Amino acid sequence: MGLIVAIFSGFALSVIAPYIHRVTRGATGWVISILPFSLLAYFASFINTIKHGEVVKVAYNWVPGLHINLSFYIDGLGLLFALLISGIGAFVIIYASVYLKGHHFLGRFYIFILMFMASMLGVVLSDNLITFFIFFELTGITSYFLIGYDCDREKSRWAALQALLVTGIGGLALLAGIIMMSLASGSYEFSDLLNNGDVIRNSPLYIPILILVLLGAFTKSAQVPFQFWLPGAMEAPTPISSYLHSATMVKAGVFLIARLSPVLGDTNAWFYTVSFTGATTMVIGGYMAVHQTDLKKILAYSTVCVLGILTMLLGLGTDLAFKAAMVFLFAHALYKASLFLIAGIVDHGAGTRDINKLGGLRHYMPVTAIIAGLATLSACGLPPFFGFVGKELLYKAGSSVSNIPALMTGAAVFANIFMFGAIWLAGVRPFIKKYNLLPQKAHEAPFTMLVGPAILASLGLIFGLFPGLLEEALFAPAASSVAGKHVHVHLSLWHGFNLPLALSVVTVAGGFSVFAFREKIVHVANKLSFISCYGSSLWYKKIYEWLFVVARVQTNTIQSGYQRYYLLTIFTVSTALISYKLLEIGGVHQFVNFGDVKFYEVALGVFMMVAMVTAILSDGRLTAVIALGVVGFCVSLIYVLYSAPDLALTQILVETLTVILIILVVYHLPRFSKLSSLKSRIRDAVLSIAFGGVMTALVLEASNVQLHPTISEYFVKNSLALAHGRNIVNVILVDFRGVDTLGEITVLSVVGIGVYALIKLQPKPDRGENN
Amino acid sequence: MNLIILSIATRYMMPVILFFSVALLMRGHNNPGGGFIGGLLAASAFILYSVSFGVKAARKKLRIDPRSLIGFGLLVAVLSGIISFFCKSSFMTSKWGGINVPLLGEFHFGTPVMFDIGVYFVVIGVTLTIIFSLSELSE
């Protein structure tokens, strides 16, 4: 149970977070961060268990009938992510409390970020597939709110919607994939799937499953061609970018690929799709990063590059590649989160994120400069930082695959060279460049903003100097869960003179030359800019616009806006469908036996018909309304005669209120005049008679057909026994079919509010026409 | 619309109708009645009042905005369904309890009754929201 409480604690705290903020004000970040810190400690306590290859499972029945359970489990992979999510989350919340100080929606921020953190924990720890999907979508929804946090700006709303739509479409594909996966294997739990990989790989559904699941993962992790939403999402405030778009959410897709690697992996289709998509993404991401001038955009594209690297590594599918992926992922989370936070500090302190304007910041913000240096060196993969360990492993994994090692290694070196140049541009140049064009006098950030990036960046150095610290505790279990078998991990800084080291040297040299000749590269690339006309972000825009065009055409065709045409359509269609069905079963079998009709029943019928004819022929609206009222009261009398007092009562009340309603509306209708032509009146008459006739036939026939004879008997028998009520109608309404009633009163409420809105919120009260 | 007979009759009828609507609501589980009918009846009491004294007076008499009644009713209905969670059963499983009051006999109370009370308020709220705003249009 403790695990479930831990995962849901974020949701619980988010509910009261704005109220906490009202009390604690400036200290809210520190207060709220107690939760992620405790979660960090809680998850860290699992390290000892997980280290020995065990998994922790907790399950709580949610909707067992649909195989949806709140089941969670911790293995190496989930634990690695959970530690990153809670640890980085804590620092980001502390940082954001200062970064967003004075923002009028700061209270909301805590709600969203805590909900996001909780959903993210749910993603990485879910055992049940449907639960996983729900959390996966929740991260998308909460990130929609976080990206669109500055909802006053059009651009950030657009970026938020873009991210939501792209990841949402992928999410739908993923849902289909998940359902197929459970159809193929017969289980809704990851832990069962992991042991049933062969069943799924040999199933005829394997290729559709692969496509759908990867679509979900690729959209979430911004793989080509869906990479465009991630740089767009940089509209979010920097701490959010740091948390969502580098450390956690964008890695949910990578997580999914890693999680399902033992299930779907180890086939040619998997190898080529995943590794080639990853390789393309990393090359494009690295290349694009160099072209940016906005600090955050540079970091965003370099994140795309890293996501590509991780995907490629997972696609390669060797134990070494899995090891490399886990180490690289951890190193990246540390340095990229701190680089983003530093970008925020620079933006805050210097007033711009444009690298052409930034310079000489080491004089104004020396502490930030040191932290930025630590993070950049790790990001560039220089010894003795942890990033170096990750990159060495990447090259080793790339060069040792059996298939196409040269291509993969070459692509990795190319991407890393460009990423090196881009990171150097973002992390070092603003601090050491001689001159600057700052819009304001730069100043150092307060301690609260520095503490997060400082700790994250120094961790990169500590783990680099002592790479063995976590190898058995964290990386070995994580790589083992991805590989599906035990993987031994031994990390060290120095591997001797070998190929990876040579490639590292090439990367550093190449990176510096990219940095030095950046202007020229951009210049040449601009000449090739016609290629970007075919970029996926433009396709997104086109599809988005088309959607509106189609919606408009469709609405104009189907929704005429005239009540009479809607009624005409409904009556025609139902007449046609019902008469088709009646003809199919051979017409009406039982006719009324007029022998036992009582005289007062006949009188009532005649009375109704007279009232009906009066209603049709009358010239005044009021007369028509009253005549219709007479029909309604007669119907309630029929209910009384056939001993249905509940219905009779309801009918009387509804009828009274309807008459009142219509009379109120009558005031607003134009004078009663015959506008419709003879032709349309005849058409209406024919249709009404046909509809009435068919309904009569249906009622007569309905008493003959008993589809489920047991259900009404069940209600009669159990009304008093189970539901303590003698009024069966009411017991059905509030107990047996209570959920239906709940739905109905919800609809009723919506209708009430809708009518209110139509009447009250009109700019000018429209006299009649629209009623 | 200042009809003296109507307005005096309304004064005396109002409490009777409202009392009757509550009675219908409470006895609904065993006899004809229930939240829907009771709600309609209660709403018609206020509509009668608005016919004789005007919508403004009727709104004043009701004290609460009918729109809030919609929300309140829905809340009560949903809460009645959630109670069963505390007994580890699924949503809207009915739960019954009884208390023995000396002299008056035993009272049974269950979540379906609470649900019906929710329906009662939703119906009052929706009906009055629609009718009041329509009549305000004509005034």
Q: What is the pLDDT of residues A254-270, one digit of tens each?
A: 999 999 999 998 888 99
Q: Does A692 touch chain B (CB under 8 A)?
A: no
Q: What φ, ψ does residue A489 adopt, rounded to 5°?
A: -120, 125
Chain B positions touching A667 (Cβ under 8 A) are 137-138
Q: Do A184 and A203 meet the contact criterion of CB atoms below 8 Å apart?
A: yes
Q: Do A10 and A118 meet the contact criterion of CB atoms below 8 Å apart?
A: yes
Cα–Cα nearest to A455, from A358, A543, A333: A333
Mean pLDDT of the A502-521 span: 87
Confidence of residue A83 (pLDDT cuts 50, 70, 90): very high
pLDDT value at A9 more than 80: yes
Mutation target among A651, A664, A715, A734 for the B interface, most CBs of B within 10 A: A734
What is the model's pLDDT at position B99?
A: 64
Q: What φ, ψ does residue A199 adopt, rounded to 5°?
A: -60, -45
Q: Do A119 and A142 meet the contact criterion of CB atoms below 8 Å apart?
A: yes
Q: What φ, ψ does residue A105 adopt, rounded to 5°?
A: -110, 25
How far apart CA A661 and CA A472 sit, in angstroms, is 75
Compute the mean pLDDT over every residue in chain A, rounded to the nearest whole number. 87
- 10 Å Cβ neighbour count for A664? 19
Counting beta carbons within 10 angstroms of the beta carbon of residue A657, is it exposed (0 to 12), middle (13 to 18) or buried (19 or more)?
middle
pLDDT value at A216 more than 90: yes
What is the model's pLDDT at position A710?
A: 64
Q: Does B76 touch chain A (CB under 8 A)?
A: no
Chain centroid, CA B54 distance in Å:
21
Mean pLDDT of the A110-122 span: 94
Using the structure block, give the residue that is written with the tokens 């058409």.
A683
CA angle at A377 for the pair A375 and A382, rounded to the nearest 5°: 140
Helix then strand then coil, % of chain B, to nearest 5 = 75, 10, 20
Looking at residue A670, the DSSP 8-state letter turns out to be P
Q: Do A219 and A249 meet the contact criterion of CB atoms below 8 Å apart?
A: no
pLDDT value at A79 more than 70: yes
What is the model's pLDDT at position A372?
A: 93
How far apart CA B39 and CA A636 sit, in angstroms, is 18
Compute the mean pLDDT over every residue in chain B, rounded to the nearest whole number. 85
What type of residue is A4?
I
Question: What 3-state class would DSSP assign to B105?
Answer: strand
How far apart CA A564 and CA A680 sit, in angstroms, is 11
Q: What φ, ψ does residue B126 adopt, rounded to 5°?
A: -65, -50
pLDDT value at A111 more than 90: yes
Q: Do B29 and A731 touch (CB under 8 A)?
A: yes
Using the structure block, give the residue that is written with the tokens 């767009």.
A232
Mean pLDDT of the A300-323 span: 92
Residue that wins the pLDDT comparison between A653 and A667: A653
Q: Is the peptide bond before A225 cis (omega within 30 degrees of 0)?
A: yes
How far apart CA A635 and CA A647 sit, in angstroms, is 10
Q: Does B84 touch chain A (CB under 8 A)?
A: no
Question: What 3-state class would DSSP assign to A562?
Answer: coil
Chain A positions touching B113 (Cβ under 8 A) are 734
What is the model's pLDDT at position A557?
A: 84
Q: Does A747 touch chain B (CB under 8 A)?
A: no
What is the model's pLDDT at position A769?
A: 46
Q: Does A653 touch chain B (CB under 8 A)?
A: yes
Mean pLDDT of the B50-60 span: 89
CA angle at A326 for the pair A321 and A330, rounded to the nearest 5°: 145
- In this complex, which of A654, A739, A751 lies closest to B126 when CB atoms are compared? A751
pLDDT value at A771 more than 50: no
- A657 to chain B: nearest residue by CA? B44
Q: Do A733 and B36 touch (CB under 8 A)?
A: yes
Tokens matching residue A55:
């998994």
- Counting residues of chain A whose pLDDT is more than 70, the rounded percentage is 95
What is the model's pLDDT at position A565?
A: 86
Question: What 3-state class would DSSP assign to A722?
Answer: helix
Q: Does A656 touch chain B (CB under 8 A)?
A: yes
pLDDT value at A656 more than 70: yes
How far apart CA A136 and CA B139 sit, in angstroms, is 53
Confidence of residue A770 (pLDDT cuts 50, 70, 90): very low
Tokens matching residue A668:
């607003």
Looking at residue A294, the DSSP 8-state letter turns out to be B
Q: Do A88 and A247 meet the contact criterion of CB atoms below 8 Å apart?
A: yes
Mean pLDDT of the A206-227 span: 92
How far apart CA A313 and CA A282 sit, in angstroms, is 11
Counting beta carbons within 10 angstroms of the beta carbon of residue A687, is it exposed (0 to 12), middle (13 to 18) or buried (19 or more)?
middle
How far apart CA B124 and CA B127 sit, in angstroms, is 5
Strand A56-63 and strand A68-74: the pairing is antiparallel
Mean pLDDT of the A747-764 span: 85
How far apart CA A365 and CA A219 sit, in angstroms, is 38
How far apart CA A656 and CA A630 sit, in angstroms, is 10
What type of residue is A13?
L
Mean pLDDT of the B83-98 span: 74
What is the model's pLDDT at position A401?
A: 83
What is the model's pLDDT at position A514?
A: 87
For chain A, the straight-line distance linking the first and the last C-alpha, in angstroms and rounded, comes to 56
Residue that wins the pLDDT comparison between A333 and A598: A333
Chain centroid, CA B67 distance in Å:
13
What type of residue is A617?
L
Residue that wins the pLDDT comparison between B38 and A440: B38
Mean pLDDT of the B34-38 span: 88
Q: Nearest CA to CA, how far is B29 from chain A (Å)?
A: 5
Query: Which of A166-175, A349-358, A714-723 has the weakest average pLDDT?
Result: A714-723
pLDDT value at A663 more than 90: no
How far apart CA A409 and CA A17 sit, in angstroms, is 48
Chain centroid, CA A237 distance in Å:
20
What lies within 8 Å, CB to CB, of A332 at 6+ separation is A246, A306, A310, A379, A387, A390
Confidence of residue A69 (pLDDT cuts 50, 70, 90): confident
Mutation target among B1, B36, B90, B122 for the A interface, most CBs of A within 10 A: B36
What is the model's pLDDT at position A643?
A: 82
pLDDT value at A766 more than 70: no
Mean pLDDT of the A211-219 span: 94
- In this complex, which of B30, B110, B131 lies closest to A664 when CB atoms are compared? B131
What lies within 8 Å, CB to CB, of A225 at 6+ separation is A536, A539
Q: Do A121 and A10 meet the contact criterion of CB atoms below 8 Å apart?
A: yes
Q: Do B134 and A759 touch (CB under 8 A)?
A: yes
What is the model's pLDDT at position B109?
A: 72
Q: Do A753 and B78 touch (CB under 8 A)?
A: no
Mutation target among B26, B29, B90, B107 for the A interface, most CBs of A within 10 A: B29
How far apart CA A424 and CA A418 sit, in angstroms, is 10
How far apart CA A478 and CA A487 sit, in angstroms, is 9
pLDDT value at A595 more than 80: no
- Counting residues of chain A whose pLDDT is more than 90, the rounded percentage is 39
